[in-house]
């Protein structure tokens, strides 16, 4: 576990949703999931460096959560930048996940499932890009 490169995960926002209760719940869950994914990397960490001038990466994103005719669709737009100056080095990219709602009374479980699938997909892409840029 030699020197890992710092990744600051910004406050992932919920830009659009069909139920406002998710605006308070999901951003915290999404940020925590992205941080956990970064910390599983052999080259990345979300632990702030002791050297305040250390370079690293910044990850931020916004999510839309919509009901569809058959279920729920979530889309995340991610921005990758250098830290601490937050200069963007990749154009915002989008990842999408969907799920079918079989029981409307259990929609919260479906929302959790689609957000988890979305974050798993985007985290893998983000980690691959960031690790390729680690000196």
- Tens-digit pLDDT profile for residues 11-70: 889 999 999 999 988 999 999 999 999 999 999 999 999 888 889 999 999 999 998 888
Q: Note the pTM of the prediction, 2 decimals.
A: 0.86
Taking the C-alpha atoms of residue 111 and residue 55, their distance in angstroms, rounded to an integer, is 35
Domain assignments of the chain as residue spans, ordered by start: 5-133
- Mean pLDDT over residues 75-84, rounded? 92
| Fold assignment, 5-133 | Rossmann fold (3.40.50)
Q: Mark 60-75 as b/e (b = at least 16 C-beta within 10 Å).
A: bbbbbbebeeebbbbb
pLDDT digits (tens, 9 = 90+) for 88-109: 998 767 888 877 777 767 788 8
pLDDT value of residue 1: 45
Taking the C-alpha atoms of residue 27 and residue 13, their distance in angstroms, rounded to an integer, is 6
């Amino acid at each position: 576990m030699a020197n890992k490169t710092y990744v600051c995960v910004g406050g992932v926002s919920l830009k659009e949703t069909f139920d406002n209760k998710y605006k308070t719940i999901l951003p915290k869950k999404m940020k925590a999931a992205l941080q956990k994914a970064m910390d599983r990397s052999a080259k990345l960490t979300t632990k702030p460096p002791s050297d305040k001038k250390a370079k690293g990466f910044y990850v931020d994103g916004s999510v839309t959560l919509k009901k569809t005719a058959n279920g729920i669709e979530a889309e995340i737009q991610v921005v990758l930048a250098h830290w601490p100056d937050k200069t963007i080095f990749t154009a915002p990219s989008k990842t999408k996940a969907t799920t079918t709602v079989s029981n409307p009374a259990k929609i919260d479980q479906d929302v959790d499932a689609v957000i988890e699938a979305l974050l798993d997909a985007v985290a893998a892409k983000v980690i691959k890009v960031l690790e390729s840029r680690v000196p």
